Structure 1
Amino acid sequence: MTNKLNNIVVVGQGAMGLLWYHHLSQASESLNIKLSLLASNQTLLTKDQLNSASYQFTRYIQEQAEDSKLNSQLNYQTSYPLSYSQTTDISSAEVIILCLKSFHIANALKQIAKDINPNCLVILAHNGMGTLADVVKLLPSQQAILTMLTTHGSYRYAPLAVTHTGLGQSDIGLLAGELSLRQQEQLISQLNSALPQVDFHQDIVTKQWLKLAINCVINPITAIENIDNGKINNKNYSEQINLLLTEIIAVSQAESIDLLLSDLQLTVHRVAQSTAKNCSSMRSDVLAGRSTEVDYINGYIHRLGQQHNIATPENTRLWQQVRNIKSTT
């Protein structure tokens, strides 16, 4: 087991990848860590472009700012140097954080699996569930595979340009493999020094299901209806929300996960309220004509329902509807 976690690679140049890269980079000197970013398009860059790379970051801005002169986010935008990962960075990495769409996780790992040290901590940071089955096939049995769930808001408005749109927290836990207490404590300490609050959970799977339930409601409805998150709380969506959650609870129970309808209803309401003006990730993908993660959200409920012979008509309907929207854009 490695005793230090000082070499970190962030995989993915999307909103969440750049958010974590930025905050880890800002803390790198005090934490004494070496940090790099593995981007999907970096093989297309020239040597000069690789060596002179930079990204734009706009820090989180309180909406209640009194000074009207500070309304423009451009006033907060700053350029920072970017260090791209090389093969040696992958092989020496003690932590690899994959901030990717769920459908890119397995393919990204296939590209680098042969270079990953078996003692490296591999962290999956994506929406939805269902990637683990493919991931464990690509890595040694003892490899520590963790998941990280975050409620921070981040928006990429241009290539290598991101805005931190909302403060949140992150939950992390072990899905497979081996993790020492020392590794756990050091990992949480380093992540908290970069972008707090980060908490470790022994039962991270229940946390995954809670987030999945929220995503199964807010993401497809906002994408299909083309509405901001807050409008989910309108009464005309109440029946549909209850149908979705009731199906999710039935499937979760077959997976030995206990969820309560009243708790999920309240959580969905609170999340929609706290992110009322936000555009969900699935809605953003649909509007931009990109592939969505619906196969790993409502589609995951559909597939598990089939496995357990549990009907999931509402989740299945929304899964198919989002896929049809995507295919016609």
Structure 2
Amino acid sequence: MKIVIVGAGAIGRVFGVFLSRGGHEVIFIEIMPDVVEAINRDGVGIMDIDMVDIHEMAFVKARAVADAREIADCDAVILAVKSFDTSAAIHSVVHLVTASSPILSLQTGLGNLEIMEQVVSRENIIGGFTFMAGTALLPGRVKHGGVGTTYIGELDGRITPRIERLRQAFNESGLVAQVVKRIVGRLWSKVIVYSAINSVSAVLRVKNGQLLETMESVTLLKRLIDEGQAVAEAQGIDLVYQDLYELLFSNCERTARNMSSMLQDVINQRRTEVDAQNGGLCRYGSESRVPTTTQQTMFELVRLIERWGQDSYQP
């Protein structure tokens, strides 16, 4: 398959490496010139989380462009940009998205699918999310944090030939992919769990596994989960997962040595996705008149860190 990946961040790079190794043609669309240059010069570099020597990094061939108009057609588009870039990204690839070349969102946040539907037909969108993890290193390089399941699904719940082709392409490339019927509910579940992991780890500046080491942090995580679940129930969302605490604990344990994406953004003084995660839950909570006091507090703390940083104090 000819697969276009919009956004060559950590997750985009990881998926690009696996798909390229699986024999697929991978083209990145990326606005950062140094990343485009590095990928076109060297390919995408990847190293496992256990590796400490950057010279152990393996490079996989790929192509990158800054202008999506350089690409005439493809078999599928993967959207792997931050939530606040969704609108610009979907507008840039509208000419590539058709029923036979659908766009798959692998973003973690609320509101992305709705933004996409304003630009392309809902029938040409595939919902999805992943438990793969990665840390962006130098331009075009990534540290892979371990294989996690990727869930994809048609928004109307149908099992179509095109989604089966995408699942097959993922699995044959070493990506563990499952086609599911209730993708929106599963996406909400991930947002609820990861809005807790991301915001608390970003404020405390700790890796995911450390969040389970104290009663106070676990209590805070559970409170965030409870509020998110209450919002989903008020919105009539079927979360699919029976126990979000178990999903929380298992993901913290599986990615124990990883820094969450939000913590990576804070450390690198980049804008976070807190607005589409904790902020999104707060907005839906307000709409449903469900209290989200803890979610709102974490949202405000992360926004303040974005504004001033944790190292801004000058005695």
- What is the TM-score when the length of structure 2 is the normalising length? 0.88
Rounded to whole Å, the distance in 2 between the matches of 1:259 and 1:36 is 34
Deviation of 1:11 after TM superposition, in Å, equals: 1.2
Cα pair distance change 1:271/1:35, threshold 3 Å: closer
| Paired amino acid for 2:247 | T
Deviation of 1:260 after TM superposition, in Å, equals: 9.5
Rounded to whole Å, the distance in 2 between the matches of 1:254 and 1:11 is 33
Q: Does the 8 Å CA contact 1:7/1:34 hold for their aligned counterparts?
A: yes
What aligned pairs does 1:142-221 form with structure 2 within 5 A after superposition? 142-143=123-124, 145-175=125-155, 181-221=160-200
Q: How big is each residue's C-alpha offset from its partner over 1:47-84, in whole Å with a ceiling of 9 and x where there is no partner? A: xx5995223423436x5xxxxxxx53334212343312
Asked if residue 287 in structure 1 is aligned to residue 267 in structure 2, the reply is yes
Rounded to whole Å, the distance in 2 between the matches of 1:43 and 1:59 is 20
The alignment yields a C-alpha RMSD, in angstroms, of 2.6
Q: How big is each residue's C-alpha offset from its partner over 1:26-47, in whole Å with a ceiling of 9 and x where there is no partner? A: 112xxxx4331111135997xx
| Paired amino acid for 2:118 | K
Deviation of 1:105 after TM superposition, in Å, equals: 1.4
Q: Does the 8 Å CA contact 2:38/2:139 hold for their aligned counterparts?
A: no
The equivalent residue for 1:119 is: 100
Runs of at least 5 residues in structure 2 that lack an aligned partner in the other structure: 310-315
The equivalent residue for 2:313 is: none
The equivalent residue for 1:82 is: 62
Give 1:229's match in structure 2, choosing from 196, 208, 216. Answer: 208
Give 1:54's match in structure 2, choosing from 42, 60, 76. Answer: 42
Cα pair distance change 1:274/1:142, threshold 3 Å: closer
The equivalent residue for 1:37 is: 28
Deviation of 1:262 after TM superposition, in Å, equals: 7.9
Q: Does the 8 Å CA contact 2:128/2:187 hold for their aligned counterparts?
A: no
Larger gyration radius, structure 1 or structure 2? 1
Q: How big is each residue's C-alpha offset from its partner over 1:143-187, in whole Å with a ceiling of 9 and x where there is no partner? A: 2x11222112211111111121212221111236x9772212211
Rounded to whole Å, the distance in 1 between the matches of 2:87 and 2:31 is 13
Rounded to whole Å, the distance in 1 between the matches of 2:176 and 2:121 is 30
Q: Does the 8 Å CA contact 1:92/1:117 hold for their aligned counterparts?
A: no
Cα pair distance change 1:74/1:204, threshold 3 Å: same
Q: Does the 8 Å CA contact 1:113/1:138 hold for their aligned counterparts?
A: yes
Give 1:328's match in structure 2, choosing from 288, 308, 312. Answer: 308
Give 2:245's match in structure 1, choosing from 256, 265, 268. Answer: 265
The equivalent residue for 1:67 is: none
Determine helix, strand or coil for the equivalent of 1:138.
coil
Determine helix, strand or coil for the equivalent of 1:91.
coil
Rounded to whole Å, the distance in 2 between the matches of 1:147 and 1:41 is 26
The equivalent residue for 1:3 is: none
Rounded to whole Å, the distance in 2 between the matches of 1:87 and 1:166 is 30
Determine helix, strand or coil for the equivalent of 2:267.
helix
| Paired amino acid for 2:183 | I
Q: Does the 8 Å CA contact 1:11/1:17 hold for their aligned counterparts?
A: yes
The count of aligned residue pairs is 307
